[in-house]
Amino acid sequence: GAVVSQHPSWVICKSGTSVKIECRSLDFQATTMFWYRQFPKQSLMLMATSNEGSKATYEQGVEKDKFLINHASLTLSTLTVTSAHPEDSSFYICSATPRAARGELFFGEGSRLTVL
Amino acid sequence: KNQVEQSPQSLIILEGKNCTLQCNYTVSPFSNLRWYKQDTGRGPVSLTIMTFSENTKSNGRYTATLDADTKQSSLHITASQLSDSASYMCVVRGGSYIPTFGRGTSLIVHP
Protein backbone atom coordinates (compact mmCIF):
# COMPACT_ATOMS: atom_id res chain seq x y z
CA GLY A 1 0.00 0.00 0.00
CA ALA A 2 0.92 3.63 -0.22
CA VAL A 3 3.51 4.75 2.28
CA VAL A 4 4.07 8.14 3.82
CA SER A 5 7.33 8.50 5.67
CA GLN A 6 8.17 11.07 8.31
CA HIS A 7 11.60 11.95 9.52
CA PRO A 8 12.75 12.22 12.20
CA SER A 9 10.43 10.00 14.20
CA TRP A 10 11.52 11.76 17.34
CA VAL A 11 13.65 14.79 18.11
CA ILE A 12 14.81 16.60 21.21
CA CYS A 13 15.98 20.16 20.91
CA LYS A 14 16.84 23.14 23.06
CA SER A 15 14.49 26.04 23.49
CA GLY A 16 15.06 28.71 20.85
CA THR A 17 16.31 26.40 18.15
CA SER A 18 14.48 25.46 14.95
CA VAL A 19 13.49 21.95 13.99
CA LYS A 20 12.58 20.63 10.57
CA ILE A 21 10.32 17.61 10.05
CA GLU A 22 10.05 15.95 6.66
CA CYS A 23 7.06 14.20 5.18
CA ARG A 24 7.61 12.11 2.07
CA SER A 25 5.23 10.11 -0.07
CA LEU A 26 7.36 7.14 -1.06
CA ASP A 27 5.41 5.58 -3.88
CA PHE A 28 3.01 8.22 -5.12
CA GLN A 29 2.84 11.87 -6.03
CA ALA A 30 0.93 13.87 -3.48
CA THR A 31 -1.00 16.89 -4.60
CA THR A 32 -1.99 17.79 -1.07
CA MET A 33 -0.30 17.21 2.25
CA PHE A 34 -1.74 17.97 5.64
CA TRP A 35 0.06 18.70 8.88
CA TYR A 36 -1.40 17.98 12.31
CA ARG A 37 -0.33 18.16 15.91
CA GLN A 38 -1.59 15.93 18.63
CA PHE A 39 -1.27 16.34 22.37
CA PRO A 40 -1.38 13.29 24.64
CA LYS A 41 -4.76 11.57 24.67
CA GLN A 42 -6.20 14.20 22.37
CA SER A 43 -7.42 14.04 18.81
CA LEU A 44 -5.50 15.23 15.78
CA MET A 45 -5.61 18.96 15.23
CA LEU A 46 -5.21 20.12 11.66
CA MET A 47 -2.54 22.81 11.44
CA ALA A 48 -2.30 23.49 7.73
CA THR A 49 -3.03 22.23 4.25
CA SER A 50 -0.17 22.27 1.80
CA ASN A 51 -0.56 22.07 -1.98
CA GLU A 52 2.48 21.51 -4.16
CA GLY A 53 3.87 24.71 -5.54
CA SER A 54 1.68 27.05 -3.55
CA LYS A 55 1.61 28.56 -0.09
CA ALA A 56 0.16 26.53 2.73
CA THR A 57 -3.26 27.34 4.10
CA TYR A 58 -3.13 27.58 7.88
CA GLU A 59 -5.94 26.85 10.27
CA GLN A 60 -7.15 29.59 12.53
CA GLY A 61 -4.89 30.06 15.52
CA VAL A 62 -1.83 28.46 13.92
CA GLU A 63 1.05 30.92 13.51
CA LYS A 64 2.42 30.67 10.00
CA ASP A 65 5.66 32.39 10.99
CA LYS A 66 6.10 29.87 13.77
CA PHE A 67 5.30 26.78 11.76
CA LEU A 68 6.84 27.12 8.33
CA ILE A 69 5.52 24.69 5.76
CA ASN A 70 7.16 24.07 2.44
CA HIS A 71 5.76 21.76 -0.24
CA ALA A 72 8.49 22.04 -2.84
CA SER A 73 7.80 18.84 -4.74
CA LEU A 74 5.05 16.30 -5.27
CA THR A 75 6.69 13.91 -2.83
CA LEU A 76 8.03 16.13 -0.07
CA SER A 77 6.62 18.59 2.41
CA THR A 78 8.49 20.00 5.37
CA LEU A 79 7.35 21.54 8.63
CA THR A 80 9.83 23.78 10.41
CA VAL A 81 9.11 24.76 13.98
CA THR A 82 11.00 28.01 14.43
CA SER A 83 12.37 29.22 17.74
CA ALA A 84 10.85 26.22 19.46
CA HIS A 85 9.61 26.49 23.04
CA PRO A 86 8.60 23.77 25.49
CA GLU A 87 4.93 24.36 24.71
CA ASP A 88 5.66 23.31 21.11
CA SER A 89 6.45 19.83 22.37
CA SER A 90 3.93 17.59 20.70
CA PHE A 91 3.35 14.77 18.26
CA TYR A 92 3.34 16.06 14.69
CA ILE A 93 1.75 13.97 11.95
CA CYS A 94 1.44 14.49 8.23
CA SER A 95 -0.89 12.95 5.70
CA ALA A 96 -0.93 12.95 1.94
CA THR A 97 -3.48 12.65 -0.83
CA PRO A 98 -2.29 10.95 -4.02
CA ARG A 99 -2.61 12.85 -7.26
CA ALA A 100 -4.07 9.72 -8.87
CA ALA A 101 -6.55 9.01 -6.08
CA ARG A 102 -7.87 12.17 -4.50
CA GLY A 103 -10.26 10.25 -2.29
CA GLU A 104 -7.41 8.55 -0.47
CA LEU A 105 -5.61 9.85 2.60
CA PHE A 106 -2.46 8.21 3.94
CA PHE A 107 -0.81 9.14 7.21
CA GLY A 108 2.80 9.22 8.23
CA GLU A 109 4.01 7.57 11.42
CA GLY A 110 4.38 10.86 13.22
CA SER A 111 7.27 12.80 14.72
CA ARG A 112 7.55 13.41 18.43
CA LEU A 113 9.13 16.75 19.28
CA THR A 114 10.40 17.49 22.76
CA VAL A 115 11.70 20.97 23.45
CA LEU A 116 13.81 21.32 26.57
CA LYS B 1 -20.16 24.01 8.80
CA ASN B 2 -18.80 20.53 8.19
CA GLN B 3 -18.61 18.55 11.40
CA VAL B 4 -17.92 14.99 12.47
CA GLU B 5 -19.09 13.86 15.88
CA GLN B 6 -17.93 10.59 17.42
CA SER B 7 -19.29 8.73 20.39
CA PRO B 8 -18.55 7.56 22.91
CA GLN B 9 -15.49 9.63 23.73
CA SER B 10 -13.98 6.66 25.51
CA LEU B 11 -14.91 3.05 26.03
CA ILE B 12 -13.59 0.27 28.22
CA ILE B 13 -14.51 -3.33 27.49
CA LEU B 14 -13.32 -6.78 28.44
CA GLU B 15 -11.32 -8.89 26.05
CA GLY B 16 -13.54 -11.00 23.83
CA LYS B 17 -16.52 -8.66 23.97
CA ASN B 18 -17.97 -6.78 21.02
CA CYS B 19 -18.37 -3.02 20.79
CA THR B 20 -19.73 -0.39 18.44
CA LEU B 21 -18.40 3.09 17.84
CA GLN B 22 -20.55 5.82 16.31
CA CYS B 23 -19.84 8.62 13.87
CA ASN B 24 -22.33 11.29 12.83
CA TYR B 25 -21.42 13.87 10.23
CA THR B 26 -22.77 16.97 8.55
CA VAL B 27 -20.26 17.08 5.71
CA SER B 28 -21.87 17.96 2.40
CA PRO B 29 -21.43 17.09 -0.36
CA PHE B 30 -20.16 13.69 0.69
CA SER B 31 -17.20 11.96 -0.93
CA ASN B 32 -16.17 9.15 1.39
CA LEU B 33 -15.84 8.13 5.01
CA ARG B 34 -12.90 6.37 6.57
CA TRP B 35 -12.32 4.76 9.91
CA TYR B 36 -8.75 4.90 11.18
CA LYS B 37 -7.07 3.16 14.08
CA GLN B 38 -4.32 5.05 15.86
CA ASP B 39 -2.10 3.30 18.33
CA THR B 40 -0.44 5.51 20.93
CA GLY B 41 2.54 7.31 19.46
CA ARG B 42 1.87 6.06 15.96
CA GLY B 43 0.26 7.45 12.85
CA PRO B 44 -3.34 6.52 11.99
CA VAL B 45 -3.91 3.43 9.90
CA SER B 46 -6.93 3.06 7.65
CA LEU B 47 -9.40 0.31 8.56
CA THR B 48 -12.18 0.87 6.05
CA ILE B 49 -13.26 3.37 3.42
CA MET B 50 -16.87 3.77 2.38
CA THR B 51 -18.43 5.67 -0.44
CA PHE B 52 -21.99 6.88 -0.84
CA SER B 53 -23.32 3.65 -2.32
CA GLU B 54 -21.81 1.31 0.27
CA ASN B 55 -23.77 0.29 3.35
CA THR B 56 -21.46 -2.24 4.96
CA LYS B 57 -17.80 -3.10 4.66
CA SER B 58 -15.77 -5.55 6.68
CA ASN B 59 -12.08 -5.84 7.40
CA GLY B 60 -11.47 -8.88 9.55
CA ARG B 61 -13.09 -8.27 12.93
CA TYR B 62 -13.95 -4.70 11.97
CA THR B 63 -17.27 -3.99 10.25
CA ALA B 64 -18.24 -0.48 9.23
CA THR B 65 -21.72 0.61 8.26
CA LEU B 66 -22.86 3.76 6.52
CA ASP B 67 -26.29 5.34 6.30
CA ALA B 68 -25.89 8.21 3.88
CA ASP B 69 -29.47 9.33 4.42
CA THR B 70 -29.06 9.90 8.15
CA LYS B 71 -25.34 10.68 7.78
CA GLN B 72 -24.33 8.12 10.33
CA SER B 73 -21.62 5.49 10.38
CA SER B 74 -20.65 2.86 12.89
CA LEU B 75 -17.62 0.69 13.45
CA HIS B 76 -18.31 -2.66 15.04
CA ILE B 77 -15.46 -4.61 16.58
CA THR B 78 -16.09 -8.30 17.12
CA ALA B 79 -14.36 -10.46 19.71
CA SER B 80 -12.12 -7.67 20.92
CA GLN B 81 -8.44 -8.28 21.56
CA LEU B 82 -5.98 -6.43 23.75
CA SER B 83 -4.34 -5.08 20.62
CA ASP B 84 -7.59 -3.31 19.73
CA SER B 85 -6.83 -0.78 22.47
CA ALA B 86 -6.32 2.40 20.49
CA SER B 87 -7.99 5.59 19.34
CA TYR B 88 -10.47 5.19 16.49
CA MET B 89 -11.04 8.14 14.24
CA CYS B 90 -13.77 8.84 11.72
CA VAL B 91 -12.75 11.04 8.80
CA VAL B 92 -15.23 12.33 6.24
CA ARG B 93 -14.19 13.87 2.96
CA GLY B 94 -16.43 16.26 1.16
CA GLY B 95 -16.63 17.45 -2.41
CA SER B 96 -13.37 19.34 -2.24
CA TYR B 97 -11.64 16.28 -0.73
CA ILE B 98 -10.74 18.31 2.36
CA PRO B 99 -11.01 15.88 5.28
CA THR B 100 -13.06 16.63 8.36
CA PHE B 101 -11.95 14.73 11.45
CA GLY B 102 -13.88 13.42 14.37
CA ARG B 103 -12.29 13.76 17.81
CA GLY B 104 -11.92 10.03 18.06
CA THR B 105 -13.03 7.32 20.46
CA SER B 106 -10.48 5.95 22.86
CA LEU B 107 -10.97 2.20 23.29
CA ILE B 108 -9.37 0.25 26.10
CA VAL B 109 -9.63 -3.52 26.11
CA HIS B 110 -8.96 -5.11 29.47
CA PRO B 111 -7.90 -8.74 29.91
pLDDT digit string, tens, across residues B25-48: 998 888 899 999 999 889 999 999
Cβ-defined contact of B97 to A6 (cutoff 8 Å): no
What is the number of residues in chain B?
111
For chain B positions 71-110, those within 8 Å of chain A (CB to CB) are: 87, 89, 91, 93, 97-99, 101-104, 106
- Residue type, position A36, single letter: Y
User: Considering chain B, what is the average pLDDT of its residues?
Assistant: 93
Chain B touched by A61 (CB under 8 Å): no
Cβ-defined contact of B98 to A49 (cutoff 8 Å): yes
Q: How many CB pairs under 8 A join A and B?
A: 48
Between A46 and A103, the higher pLDDT residue: A46
- Residue type, position B101, single letter: F
Please calculate the CA angle B41-B44-B47 and round it to the nearest 5 degrees: 140
pLDDT digit string, tens, across residues A80-101: 999 999 999 999 999 999 888 8
Q: How far apart are CA A96 and CA A78, in angstroms?
A: 12
A21 strand-pairing partners: A79
Q: List the beta strands (DSSP E) in B1-111.
A: 4-7, 10-14, 19-25, 30-38, 45-51, 56-59, 62-67, 72-77, 86-94, 99-101, 105-110
Please calculate the CA angle A63-B95-B50 and round it to the nearest 5 degrees: 105
Q: How far apart are CA A78 and CA A20, in angstroms?
A: 7
Chain B touched by A11 (CB under 8 Å): no
**DSSP-derived secondary structure letter, A28:** S
Mention every residue, 6+ apart, whose C-beta is less than 8 A from residue B40.
B86, B87
B13 strand-pairing partners: B109
What Cα–Cα distance (Å) separates residue A72 from each residue in A23, A55, A79? Answer: 11, 10, 12
Are B11 and B19 spatial neighbours (Cβ–Cβ below 8 Å)? yes
From B17's Cα to the closest Cα of chain A, the distance in A is 23
Question: Using 50, 70 and 90 to split pLDDT, how confident is the model at A33?
Answer: very high
Chain B touched by A111 (CB under 8 Å): no
Chain A neighbors of B43, CB-CB under 8 A: 4, 6, 93, 107-110
Q: Is the pLDDT of residue B96 over 80?
A: no
Q: What is the mean pLDDT of residues A43-61?
A: 87
